[in-house]
Chain A
Amino acid sequence: MSGKPKLYYFDGRGKMESIRWLLAAAGVEFEEEFLETREQYEKLLQGGSLLFQQVPMVEIDGMRMVQTRAILSYIAAKYNLYGKDLKERALIDMYVGGTGDLMGFILMFPFLSAEDKEKQRAFIVQKATSRYFPVYEKVLKDHGQDFLVGNSFSWADVHLLEAILMVEEKKSDVLSGFPQLQAFKARISNIPTIKKFLEPGSQRKPVPDDKYVETVRRVLRMYYDLKAN
């Protein structure tokens, strides 16, 4: 065993992408096993490695961790990306809760009907620009520091950058009313570990395509469309 964390998921973003981002930001190398067939998934299930029969699953430090937020919290704490005390952790938890909700709207996007996709795109942009981005814009403006919490790079910064880039994929000029976030984006993108993750050939996954949707549906036997917000 290599000692590196090992990620079990589809070969695509989904719920695992935030975990890839955080490990990469922390400078932690990781391995991946991609689910491609129903048989692979059933083998994992039968082997008892999926606590609640679901992926993401990450083998790390002798544990088979499941539940995205649990995994992210563990990584954040282990690699000192979780603030210096309970109050900073509370702020980080609130902020990643917000960006998590925003990315949740985008997560379901590929599984919507064509008609619902347009509706959802508008919804995502509206929520990003009226509910979420203004909060982080204000936080950065008010304290004038480089990072969201405690003048120190944290999970909250990684999560916000990920969210910004995802929303920009839906509307490229979405940051036009947010000068602080534009500067934040440039700054965080230049952090060496993040810069590396943003380069071609990294383990960052591309925008979900039809092949990805097909694979998820096939492996999970999830043949219905999700509903837009």
Chain B
Amino acid sequence: MSGKPRLTYLNGRGRMEPIRWLLAAAGVEFEEVYLETKEQYDKLIKDGFLLFQQVPVVEIDGMKMVQTRAILSYIAGKYNLYGKDLKERALIDMYVEGIADLMQMILMFPFSPPEAKEKNLDSIKERATNRYFPVFEKVLKQHGQDFLVGNKFSWADVQLMEAILAVEEKIPAVLAGFPQLQVFKTKMSNMPTIKKFLQPGSPRKPPPDAHYVETVLKVFQK
């Protein structure tokens, strides 16, 4: 066994992508197993590999971790991306949970029916520009530091960076009213581990396409 964390998921973003981001940001190399067929997935369940019969699952430090948040919290804790005390952890948790709500809308988008897509896109834009981005714009403006929490790189910064890029893919000019976030995005992009993750050939997955949606529906069909 290589000792590297091993991720089992579909060959696409979905709920595993924030985990890929966080491991990459922490400079941790990992392996991936891709689910392509229903049979593979059924076998994982039958073999008792998936605690709640769901992916993501990440084999790390002798555990088969499931539940996206649990996995992310563990990685953040292990690699010192979770603040220096309980109060910083509270801030990080609030920020990443808020961002996760925004990312959930993007996650579900490819699976919405064609007639709902325009409405959903408008919702994403509305939420990003009226609810979520203003919060982080204000946080950065008020303390004038490079990072969201405690003047130190944390899980919250990685999560926000991922969200900014994901929303920009849908709404290219979305950062127009957010000068702090524009600067933040540039700074994050230049951090060595993130820079590497943003280059072609990294484990970062492309935006979901029709083939990805098809695979999800096929693998998880009842």
Known: A63-B90, A74-B93, A98-B67. A89 touches B74 (CB 8 A): yes
| Stretch of A64-72, A143-151, A208-216 lying at the B interface | A64-72
User: Within B63-119, which residues are at the interface with A (CB < 8 Å)?
Assistant: 63, 65-70, 73-74, 77-78, 86-87, 89-90, 93-94, 97-98, 101
Please report the total number of A residues contacting B with Cβ < 8 Å: 27
Contact of A73 among B52, B67, B93 (CB under 8 A): B93
Contact B89 A86 (CB under 8 A): no
* Least distance between A103 CB and chain B CB atoms (Å): 14
With beta carbons under 8 angstroms apart, the residue of A65, A68, A87 that contacts B90 is A65
B135 an interface residue at 8 Å Cβ cutoff?
Answer: yes
Given contacts A93-B69, A94-B65, A97-B70, contact A70 B52 (CB under 8 A): no
Q: Is the CB of B77 within 8 A of A135?
A: no
Chain A, interface SS category? helix
Among B51, B61, B135, max chain A CB count under 10 A is at B51
Q: How far is the CA of A67 from the CA of B73 in the complex (A)?
A: 15
For B73, the chain A residues whose CB sits under 8 A away are: 73, 89-90, 93
| Residue pair A135, B97 in contact (C-beta under 8 Å) | no
A221 contacts B by Cβ under 8 Å? no
Check B90 against A74 for contact (C-beta < 8 Å).
Answer: yes
B52 engages A98 (CB within 8 Å): yes
**In the bound complex, do residue B51 and residue A51 qualify as a contact, i.e. CB atoms below 8 Å apart?**
no
Selected contact of B77 from candidates A67, A69, A89, A132, CB within 8 Å: A89
* B132 adjacent to chain A (CB < 8 Å): yes
* Count of chain B residues near A, Cβ 8 A: 27
Q: Which residue of B lies closest to A61 (CB)?
A: B87
Q: Contact check, A73 vs B74: say whether CB atoms are below 8 A apart.
A: no
Q: Say yes or no for A114: interface residue by CB 8 A criterion.
A: no
Are A52 and B98 CB-contacts (below 8 A) given A89-B74, A131-B53?
yes
Also in contact, A77 and B86, with CB within 8 A (given A52-B98, A97-B66):
yes
- In the complex, chain B residues whose CB is within 8 Å of the CB of A78: 86
Is the pair B52, A132 in contact by a Cβ cutoff of 8 Å? yes
Which one, B68, B70, B101, contacts A52 given CB within 8 A?
B101
Across-interface contacts of B195 in A (CB, < 8 A): none
Does residue A172 face the partner (Cβ distance < 8 Å to B)?
Answer: no
Q: What residues of chain A lie closer than 8 Å to B98, measured between beta carbons?
A: 51-52, 66-67
Given A61-B87, A131-B52, A131-B53, A69-B135 contact (CB < 8 Å): no
Which residues of chain B have C-beta atoms less than 8 A from A118's C-beta?
Answer: none
A135 touches B52 (CB 8 A): yes
> Which residue of chain A has the shortest Cβ distance to B73 in the bound complex?
A93
Residue of B nearest to A70 (CB): B93
Sorted nearest first, the 8 A-B pairs with minimum C-beta distance are A97-B67, A93-B70, A70-B93, A67-B97, A70-B94, A94-B70, A90-B74, A74-B90
Q: List 15 A-B contacts (CB under 8 A).
A: A51-B94, A52-B101, A61-B87, A65-B94, A67-B97, A68-B97, A69-B97, A73-B93, A74-B93, A77-B86, A86-B78, A90-B63, A94-B70, A97-B70, A132-B52
Further contacts, 20 of them, CB under 8 A, given A52-B98, A70-B97: A52-B131, A52-B132, A65-B90, A66-B94, A68-B97, A69-B69, A69-B93, A69-B97, A70-B93, A70-B94, A74-B89, A86-B74, A90-B63, A90-B73, A93-B69, A94-B70, A97-B52, A97-B68, A98-B51, A135-B52
